[in-house]
Amino acid sequence: MTALSGPILLILSLLFSNPTSSVATDHKEVVCFVYHRFGDDRYPSTNISLADFEAHLQYLRDHDYQVLTFADAIDYLQSNQENRKTAVITIDDGYKSFHTNGLPLLEKYGYPATVFINTETVGGGDYMSWSELKDAGNRKIEIGNHTHSHAYFLNLPENSRYKTFDDEIRLSQKIIKEQLGLTPTTFAYPYGELDPKMEAIIRNAGFKAAAAQNSGVISAQSNLMRCPRFPMSESYAALDKFSSKARMNALVPKEETPTSFMMPEHHRPELTLQFVTGALQIKQLQCFIQGGECQMTITEKEGETTLKLTSEGKLTRRRTLYTVTVPDKNGQWYWYSHLWIDPSVK
């Protein structure tokens, strides 16, 4: 067993990674970011300053990214279009500060974005009204589904959880159609929380893709019903942090066990990843666990690497990420995160 203290190593690796193109040669990739509030410093954990947001947009322009809506990015991944550096800007919850502060900056750069709305709160408190959402839709903004209530669905008993979740999806689709005259084709899980049956409900509802909140890069081989996104708030918004994420590549496992995000009862989950070694510098592979120390075993055999990860101690957070980063021989970095969710933590 090799124990690594991940936070310092991870930060250093991102800061000093090679700034070359993040486009892979063998498959398309999309880097997706999630924002909430814009220029609203009352809520620093979900807010981004306008200066930082504009710096992000300027970086994407300066480095020749195509910026697409979430739905268009999924179409791009599945198309025969030319392989390009591609970014997606998503906004969860539909706060007024996006319409007031964020949208004008997007228009300044000519970029689209996707806003995921919870229909119960539209027009109330700090949330955009239907007229503001309609206006945004006329200004290159895709509207996606974020359920009706934005509830902690995993805290509902199983005998009612899935019917409630399914009913809310149908209700919010109906309301959006009535109010905006459109039917969303993309979805975002509230708090990024889901279990396999919830994922199946979204798949069966006909959405082309769904966004989670485990960090990482979307690839053509990703499970499109739980696409990773990098969070952008005041804690992560500095330009060097943003640019390091924008340059990331997807570390795509051939096998992943388990695939579920649900925390086991013993609270020390083991994650096994198997992937093609290729040009990856396995000796420089790093593991980071939120709120814990990572124990890692690596086996290399016949061009493949098997990685087993677990936490040294019990995990106590509601949501915990296991994150792996590794460079290749050209200095480009690859990222993979697996989310564990413990609904017993309120």
Residue 57 has pLDDT above 90, yes or no: yes
* pLDDT in the model for residue 7: 41
* pLDDT in the model for residue 219: 97
**To the nearest whole percent, how much of the chain has pLDDT over 90?**
91
CB atoms within 10 A of CB 125: 7
Distance CA 268, CA 228 (A): 23
Distance CA 187, CA 205 (A): 10
* pLDDT in the model for residue 27: 78
Distance CA 212, CA 228 (A): 6
* pLDDT in the model for residue 291: 86
Could you read off the pLDDT of 33-50 as tens digits, one per residue?
999 999 999 999 999 999
Q: What are phi and psi of 130, to 5 degrees?
A: -65, -35
> Residue 1 — pLDDT band, cuts 50, 70, 90?
very low
Sheet containing 294-301: which strands, arranged edge to edge? Answer: 2-4, 294-301, 304-311, 271-276, 255-257
Residue 226 has pLDDT above 70, yes or no: yes
> Residue 2 — pLDDT band, cuts 50, 70, 90?
very low
- Global pTM reads 0.91
* Averaged pLDDT, 299-325: 97
* pLDDT in the model for residue 261: 97
Question: Which positions ≥6 away from 261 have C-beta within 8 Å?
Answer: 193, 194, 195, 214, 226, 338, 339, 340, 341
> Residue 25 — pLDDT band, cuts 50, 70, 90?
very low
* Averaged pLDDT, 131-143: 98
Could you read off the pLDDT of 60-100 as tens digits, one per residue?
999 999 999 999 999 999 999 999 999 999 999 999 999 99
Residue 229 has pLDDT above 90, yes or no: yes
H helices of 27-93, in order, are 50-62, 70-77
* Averaged pLDDT, 289-299: 95
Q: In this predicted model, which residue has the larger pLDDT, 3 or 299?
A: 299
